[in-house]
Amino acid sequence: MHEDLLGYLLGALEPDEMQRVSEWLKDNPEGQAELARLERSLRPLEDGFEAIEPPSKDLLARTMAAIPEGIPPTSDEAVGRDYPVTLSDVELSRESTRPTSRWNVVDSIGGLLSVATLLALLLPTIAAGRFQARKAACQDNLRSLGTALLQYVTQDHQGRLPQVQPSGPEAFAGVYAIRLHDVGLLPDDQPQWCPSMDVPTQPQAVISKPNTAGAYRLPTAGELHQLSVNQLQSVQQYAGGHYAYNLGVIGDQGYSSPQYEGRATFAVMADSPVIGRDANGMATTRYAHGERGINVLYENGSVQFVSLDAIDSLRDNPFLNHAGAIEAGVNIDDAALAPSDIPPFKISVQR
């Protein structure tokens, strides 16, 4: 990909502009520092990560404006060059047998550095494309899960979403995946992962039980009660994948799973925050999609992308109940979502 971009950008750059950039960069510490920053900006593309802070769009214009007029000097040697600079002109070896001149190496390197500058200008578009693709993939996952949840509701005699038990081995948000899997509605029998987040390195053998084919699957709800403490904790942590699920509500009849009503503002699932600890032991929270926002699946089947800055301004914060706690909703219209291992109440016993 980079070779094609280099060829395209070299064709778009005038030879005298490359010479000006080369001469300016040679003795300009500010320009050299800018190039070092460009290298750091480009590196994430090679490593496969999303560029969060691409270089500014006016970088090339600022670079060209900063180069004094009259560079390069109009010496006979410089004026005599009447052929375009191409990739084949680049010669970086000190052992080259070509006659050396002022412009042999310097303007060749300058041309490549100019190409790097122009390539960096494409980073905002590349990063935006990667961001949109990963966000769309997560939205597709949620829509697929939403379809499965709707089918589950039609099979439930009370028309309720999958139940998170108030206590015991089934008292965790990620049990939704096990409920769907038990009735054959989960598209895949593995936890669901969002491409914007790292997939845990925890072996599948620890978070599930082997089937006869030698692969691994989610345990059934009944098997949860037979697992060891360590296995159970692993299942509770990873079964829900990267998606938060509704912890349930408290109504006139006490605690239960929400009854499906097709509400447009009642959150059922969302991209889950990842809760951990830093090197100092302090609690940390990370979000998918470059910390820009989350996809939320509502009860009517719609999926909306909500920026993190806007979450607190929503009528119903998807991650907190009306009492400001990460617990079940305090009434039947209070949606509260949580990562896989979170129980519906802080006092819930999960084993």
Strand partners, 217: 209
Of the candidates 146, 141, 196, 161, the residue with the CA atom closest to the CA atom of residue 302: 146
Phi–psi pair at 277, nearest 5 degrees: -135, 145
Can you give the pLDDT at residue 342? 96
Number of C-beta neighbours around residue 122 at 10 A: 16
User: Using CA atoms, how far apart are residues 296 and 99, in angstroms rounded to an integer?
Assistant: 65
| Backbone dihedral angles phi then psi of residue 85, each to the nearest 5 degrees | -80, 130
User: Which residue, 340, 327, 338, 339, is CA-closest to 207?
Assistant: 340
Q: What is the secondary structure of 301-320 as a DSSP string?
A: S-EEEEEHHHHTTSSS-TTS
d(CA 300, CA 85) in angstroms, rounded, equals 60
Give the pLDDT confidence of 129-152 residue by residue, as tens digits: 777 888 888 999 999 999 999 999
Please name the amino acid found at residue 263: R
The amino acid that residue 180 corresponds to is L
Residue 240 confidence (pLDDT) above 70: yes
| pLDDT at position 285 | 82
Averaged pLDDT score across all residues of the chain = 76
The contacts of residue 255 (CB under 8 Å, 6+ apart) are: 166, 248, 249, 328, 344
Q: What pTM, to 2 d.p., does this model score?
A: 0.66
pLDDT tens for 255-289 read 999 999 999 999 999 999 887 777 777 777 888 88
Structure tokens at 259: 């009854």
Q: How many CB atoms lie within 10 A of CB 348?
A: 18
Q: Is 46 a residue whose pLDDT tops 50?
A: no
CA angle 33, 36, 39 (to 5 degrees): 155
Cβ-Cβ contacts under 8 Å for 287 (sequence gap 6 or more): 271, 273, 274, 293, 294, 308
**Do residues 206 and 234 touch, judged by C-beta distance below 8 A?**
yes
pLDDT(158) > 70: yes
What's the token pair of residue 47?
A: 């490593």
Contact 114, 5 (CB under 8 A): no
Write out the two tokens for 168: 């015991």
Is 295 within 8 Å of 303 (Cβ atoms)?
Answer: yes
What pLDDT, on the 0 to 100 scale, is given for residue 113? 65
Residue-level pLDDT at 196:
84
Neighbours of 61 (CB within 10 A): 11
Q: Strand, helix or coil at 113?
A: helix
